[in-house]
Amino acid sequence: MGLTVYSGREMQMTAKGSIFLTTRQALDAVCMDFRSYEPQIMLFSEVLRVISNGDAIIKRERGKEGRWVAARHGLKMVWFDGPALGEYVCRALNEHAPDLEIITSVCSRVFQTHAYTATDSATGLPGVCIETGMENFACQQCGNCCNSLDYRDALGAEDVAGWKRMGRRDILEHVQILDRNYPAKAYRIWVKPGTHELADRCPFLEHMPTENRWTCCIHDVKPSICRDYPVSRKHGMMTGCPGFNQK
């Protein structure tokens, strides 16, 4: 399970705690959400009902993870397991191009938050504003994200450039360049210095046993993948972050 759900580069922050997505970006974000976690079969079914205007016939089978689906009454039912059901709903979303009100309703369900139709003031493009819920986030320093999530190959070139500028050899010695020939280099963290062997965990994660807290020793210069986590309430809830449970 990864730290990222969708690319922040493709999104524009609008009012505090909300993100504007064009119609195209909203559809891409929904499909990316579907592929980012364990299959969300109840959600896939709900979205299919919404975009088919209630025409889709969806049936479960006891003991099996998936659904029988027919696009409408009279058509043959087809079985989809969890991931295949997600892909089927993504295809339906992209092929049937639902109107913006329906896409907004889908976003609200998928991202478990308030969403509303909006127009981008710069481009005039129609889209959806999605509240992130981040105003209700407070890090509990439980260490789950640092200890459990898979972010090792998500280091950005900007992070590496910044550490080079600052002369942070102590951090850089834990970074591996994955492909020297590719124009945009890829990096891996955290490796044991002088090797390509992954460290058991981030070398800058410190446990404070008396308080049962975990702290980051490079908090001010930590990688953007860490700084940006979680990107939304849904992202946090789906990846085991308890930072939204306190409100």
Least CB distance to ligand SF4 at residue 8 (A): 16
Least CB distance to ligand SF4 at residue 104 (A): 28
Q: Does 222 bind ligand SF4 (CB under 6 A)?
A: yes
For ligand SF4, the closer CB: 187 or 204: 204
Report the residue from 14, 108, 117, 141 that binds ligand SF4 according to the rule CB under 6 A.
Answer: 141
**Nearest-angstrom CA–CA distance, 73 and 89:** 17
Q: Does 136 bind ligand SF4 (CB under 6 A)?
A: no
Sign of the dihedral through C-alpha 219, 224, 226, 231: positive
Report the residue from 86, 98, 133, 243 that binds ligand SF4 according to the rule CB under 6 A.
Answer: 243
**Nearest-angstrom CA–CA distance, 62 and 247:** 36
Report the residue from 146, 155, 175, 191 that binds ligand SF4 according to the rule CB under 6 A.
Answer: 146
Cβ atoms 228, 136 nearer than 8 A: no
Residue 214's nearest CA partner among 147, 154, 136 is 147
Least CB distance to ligand SF4 at residue 178 (A): 18
Least CB distance to ligand SF4 at residue 19 (A): 19
Q: Does 205 bind ligand SF4 (CB under 6 A)?
A: yes
Binding segment (CB under 6 A) for ligand SF4, from list 27-35, 61-69, 98-106, 143-151? 143-151
Beta-carbon neighbour count of residue 78 at 10 Å? Answer: 12
Q: How far is CA 226 from CA 24, 123, 163, 170, 234, in A?
A: 27, 31, 15, 18, 17
Least CB distance to ligand SF4 at residue 193 (A): 15
Least CB distance to ligand SF4 at residue 135 (A): 15
Report the residue from 41, 145, 160, 191 that binds ligand SF4 according to the rule CB under 6 A.
Answer: 145
Cβ atoms 234, 108 nearer than 8 A: no
Edge to edge, the sheet with strand 78-81 lists 57-59, 66-70, 78-81
Q: Does 242 bind ligand SF4 (CB under 6 A)?
A: yes
Q: Does 221 bind ligand SF4 (CB under 6 A)?
A: no
Q: Does 155 bind ligand SF4 (CB under 6 A)?
A: no
**Nearest-angstrom CA–CA distance, 243 and 141:** 9
Angle, alpha carbons 48-67-240 (nearest 5°): 80
Least CB distance to ligand SF4 at residue 218 (A): 5
**Nearest-angstrom CA–CA distance, 103 and 23:** 8
Residues numbered 4 to 63 that lie near ligand SF4 (CB under 6 A) are none
Q: How far is CA 178 from CA 3, 108, 185, 199, in A?
A: 19, 38, 7, 16
- Note the residues at the interface with ligand SF4 (CB under 6 A): 139-146, 202, 204-205, 216, 218, 222-223, 226, 229, 241-243
